[in-house]
Amino acid sequence: MNWIEEISNPHARQWEEFYRNRWQHDRVVRSTHGVNCTGSCSWMIYVKDGIVTWELQALDYPILNNGLPPYEPRGCQRGISFSWYQYSPIRVKHPYIRGVLVDLWRKAKETHKDPVEAWTAVIENEAGRKSFHQARGKGGFRRTSWDEVTEIIAASTMYTIKKYGPDRIIGFSPIPAMSMLSYAGGSRLMQMLGAVSMSFYDWYSDLPPASPETWGEQTDVAESADWFNSKYIVSVGSNMSMTRTPDVHFAAEARHNGTKLVVFAPDFNQVAKYADWWVPVNAGQDGAFWMAVNHVIMNEFHYQNPTPYFLDYMKRYTDSPFLIELNEVDGKFVPGRMVRAGQVERTKDVENGEWKFLVWDEISNAPRMPQGSLGFRWQKQKGQWNLEPKDGLDGSEIQPQLTFFGSSEEQLSVSFAEFGEGKSFQRNVPVRYIETANGKVAVTTVYDLLMAQYGVGRGLEGDYPASYDDENLSYTPAWQERYTGIDRQTVIQFAREWATTAEKTEGKCMIIIGAGVNHWYHNNLIYRACIGALMLTGCVGRNGGGLNHYVGQEKLAPMAPWASIAFALDWQKPPRQMNSPSFHYINSDQWRYERTYTEPQPVSRPETESHRDMTQEHTLDANIRAVRMGWLPSYPQFNVSSLEIIRKAEQAMADDSAKRSRWTCRADSTRWRISADDSPNRSFDSFS
């Protein structure tokens, strides 16, 4: 019985004391982790003698709704092991500076007591500046003090402002949702210096451009608890178990509630392993799959067996019934602009007529201007900005006609381009004619053009596919196989399941989409193919439905007061802000790697006269035009210091601030140019 003696031996149980000490604590502190997942999970931090000993998820989240699961458990493996990172021996705890630079700085400080003068001696010494520039990327950092690095930063900033102007100082930080205070500290400094705060969400491709393109907003997505309300969840390039770990339990709980979970991913990822259906689509080819899905939905649920809920939704909440001009160019008809209210006699004198658009009204059998399009937002009379089936002229009820199919005056053959394969198609579209200030114009609806673009023939003549098995005409289930690697029957089955669920639940189908798609070139087109399926089946704006972009979330509750602090609005207005993509595109000469719009396009497509000049331009031309028109902030503003401009204006018009402003605005190119259009340094001759 030696083993009994061993257990009773106190010396053999000393390890238990270590275990007890490991979990001892003298207080518990509530905290969170300021990281870029923006989950902001609530953690109980156990502290002993000022040292974090362990973390535990908080369990006191309020219940959002009695019909929804609770938020906890809310947290992730990274959060619960955060103290290991905090006390890691490889964590950088001190500032480091490149050795070549610090040697130059310390030598300059020996002869220049003023830090700005010392930095001037460093940066204006050609050999010295070259030496530390060439050392970049080669390591050689040395530990230094906070006093020394902050002095160098301050001195170099002041030198740059004095010599080049404050708008040559550029500040960038990740999202404020990561840490509102740390972001605000840096951005406020920038604005009080007259420097520039750069955008972040678009620069590192977390912003889905399809959202502002489609809805005019940044990323207004549902709270993750709404996943539980869905009846059909599709994950597209979003590995929620990895990237939305605190939220993914709602998706798992939704499955237990009867929701079907489908995962599109080239790899068998953490979400695919417990999904109901894994579709291993080829990387970056999701758009082709969804275009084929839309083809099936439009054919079976809009044309062959029209679904009343879908058609009513399209009329009410999309631009599908709006009228589009068909323009004849080089003997072919091509889609033109939306028909404006100012083009027809009845509404030619309305305010903002160029920005109010027309539909065909079934009641009056004539064009009408529905209340709520863009021009109503900016007119003098307020309160008419909601899109409603009311005539914007007299308030009478209208019934927008979704399609001219079966009631058209004529059919016209319209040219459609398929850029992926360098093809163009001629497809008949039903049209009506309306009288405009420029004479009789052929028009059709957005919906009819959409049908034609997707290749849903409806018995019309032209290059329409005969069946789902047509491999040569876009966008059939057979056509998508060569891109996605997915069998056509999978597309058909998925489209039918999706649309049937949406019909029975009135829109409780949801797409959770993320960086796996958003970081691809032309990500907006993939997103918009997904958005098309949501709109065609009435899923946007419904609990349990819609597009949920989860690369990152930015939800700042106190946005207005925080912005006042972060951008020094109490100090000066307006703040200097610029979108980072344009800044780098212009100032790092990325524009030199591109040519005009038309050069990379494989399809020779007729263009209208109004568009022809723009298509011959370069992307930089569009940036420059936007800057000149005041649409796009751009820094540095001019090719000379803004401080120098002020000094010249004061010399010219010393006693009158209004005259100084007018003098500055009228300055011609012999004085200065906007920096984006500094032609001596940005000539196209080098590659044209």
Residue 248, domain CATH: 3.40.228.10
Mean pLDDT per 10-residue segment, the chain (688 residues): 58 77 90 78 93 91 90 87 89 94 97 96 96 93 96 97 95 82 92 94 87 87 92 95 89 95 95 94 96 98 98 96 94 93 95 96 96 93 90 94 93 90 92 93 97 96 96 95 97 98 98 92 94 98 94 71 93 92 90 74 51 69 89 90 87 77 69 75 39
Q: Which of these, 459, 462, 483, 460, lies nearest to 471 by C-alpha position?
A: 483
CATH code for position 135: 3.40.50.740
d(CA 95, CA 142): 8
On whether both 61 and 161 belong to a single domain, the answer is: no
In a domain, 681, yes or no: yes
On whether both 436 and 378 belong to a single domain, the answer is: yes
In a domain, 502, yes or no: yes
Query: Could you tell me the residue range of the domain that residue 445 belongs to?
Result: 322-401+406-453
On whether both 427 and 328 belong to a single domain, the answer is: yes
Strands in 131-248 per DSSP E: 141-143, 170-171, 196-198, 232-236
Q: Which of these, 345, 322, 346, lies nearest to 335 by C-alpha position?
A: 322
523: CB partners within 8 A, 6+ apart: 205, 208, 209, 210, 517
On whether both 164 and 238 belong to a single domain, the answer is: no
Inter-residue contact 180 to 556 (CB < 8 Å): yes
b/e 220-238 (16+ beta carbons within 10 angstroms → b): ebbebbbbbbbbbbbbbbb
d(CA 531, CA 519): 17
Q: Which amino acid is at 562?
A: W
Q: Which amino acid is at 101?
A: L
**Which of 177, 198, 219 corresponds to the end of one domain?**
198
First vs last C-alpha separation in the chain: 94
How many structural domains comprise the chain? 5
pLDDT at 480: 97
What does each C-alpha distance from 618 to 350, 601, 628 come to in angstroms? Answer: 36, 13, 16
In a domain, 344, yes or no: yes
372 CB neighbour count, 10 Å cutoff: 17
Does pTM surpass 0.85?
Answer: yes
**Which of 93, 121, 151 corresponds to the end of one domain?**
93
DSSP 8-state assignment for residue 618: B
On whether both 340 and 442 belong to a single domain, the answer is: yes
pLDDT at 19: 81
Measure the CA angle with vertex 263, ends 260 and 264; round to 5°. Answer: 140
On whether both 184 and 220 belong to a single domain, the answer is: no
In a domain, 351, yes or no: yes
On whether both 111 and 53 belong to a single domain, the answer is: no
**Which of 147, 164, 198 corresponds to the end of one domain?**
198
φ, ψ for residue 427, nearest 5 deg: -130, 135
Torsion angle of C-alpha atoms 449, 454, 455, 461, degrees rounded to 10: 0
DSSP 8-state assignment for residue 674: B
On whether both 358 and 444 belong to a single domain, the answer is: yes
Query: Facing residues of 45 across strands?
Result: 29, 55
On whether both 329 and 448 belong to a single domain, the answer is: yes
Q: Which of these, 494, 495, 500, 453, lies nearest to 474 by C-alpha position?
A: 453
Q: Give the rounded distance of the alpha carbon of 493 from its chain centre.
A: 31
* Residue where the block lists tokens 């770990």: 245
On whether both 328 and 448 belong to a single domain, the answer is: yes
In a domain, 577, yes or no: no
Query: Rg for the chain (alpha carbons), in Å?
Result: 31
b/e 608-640 (16+ beta carbons within 10 angstroms → b): eeeeeeeeeebebbebbeebeeeebbbbbbbbb
In a domain, 467, yes or no: no
On whether both 335 and 289 belong to a single domain, the answer is: no
On whether both 39 and 154 belong to a single domain, the answer is: no
Q: Which two tokens stand for residue 675?
A: 């920096």
pLDDT at 686: 32
In a domain, 12, yes or no: no
In a domain, 572, yes or no: no
